[in-house]
Amino acid sequence: MAKKKETIKVKNVYCEMLNEPITRQILARSLPTKMGYWIGRAVEKIRQESKAYGDQKDKLIKEHEDIKKRDEEKKKGDCSVCGRKGELPPGQTFLKDALAFQKEQFVLQEIEIGLGINKIKIDLDELEKWLEKHNEKGLTGAEFEFLLPFFEIK
């Protein structure tokens, strides 16, 4: 009986990484055509999944937000020391209980999502030869770590 192909599964935390320099760096790289294509598809699938993740994360923030403290900070107006112009900096939120929020966010980040794409079969020696032949530097540790869930190493 033929072995069933393993599909790519990643945790929701990958949704957080999409705008990280490592993702842009990998997508900008010159890689073997088939490998580059499938990595691009996997990243696009993660982007699609990130909407549901982002919506749920926003709900968590709203649930844990300390509205009273936020409004008090907004009333303080402009701040010559920090440069604030009557509003909180983007992304800054006051939380009622940061530990409770972090616990729930961790649970959300650890949810595994199936991308419905088969893992990319990769022979590391062949990849190294291809990169060398095309005057490309090898994968960095960070790149390899990010890509590991996408690979089935021969």
- The candidate with the shortest Cα–Cα distance to 56, out of 25, 121, 12, 10, is 12
Q: At what angle do helices 33-64 and 98-109 cross, to 10 degrees?
A: 150
Confirm if 36 and 142 have CB atoms less than 8 A apart: no
pTM summary value: 0.73
Confirm if 86 and 78 have CB atoms less than 8 A apart: yes
- Sign for the pseudo-dihedral over CA of 54, 60, 62, 68: negative
Render each residue's pLDDT in the chain as its tens digit; 154 residues.
556 778 899 999 988 888 788 888 999 999 999 999 999 999 999 999 899 999 999 999 889 887 777 666 666 655 555 655 656 555 667 788 889 999 999 999 999 999 999 999 999 999 999 999 999 988 899 999 989 999 998 8
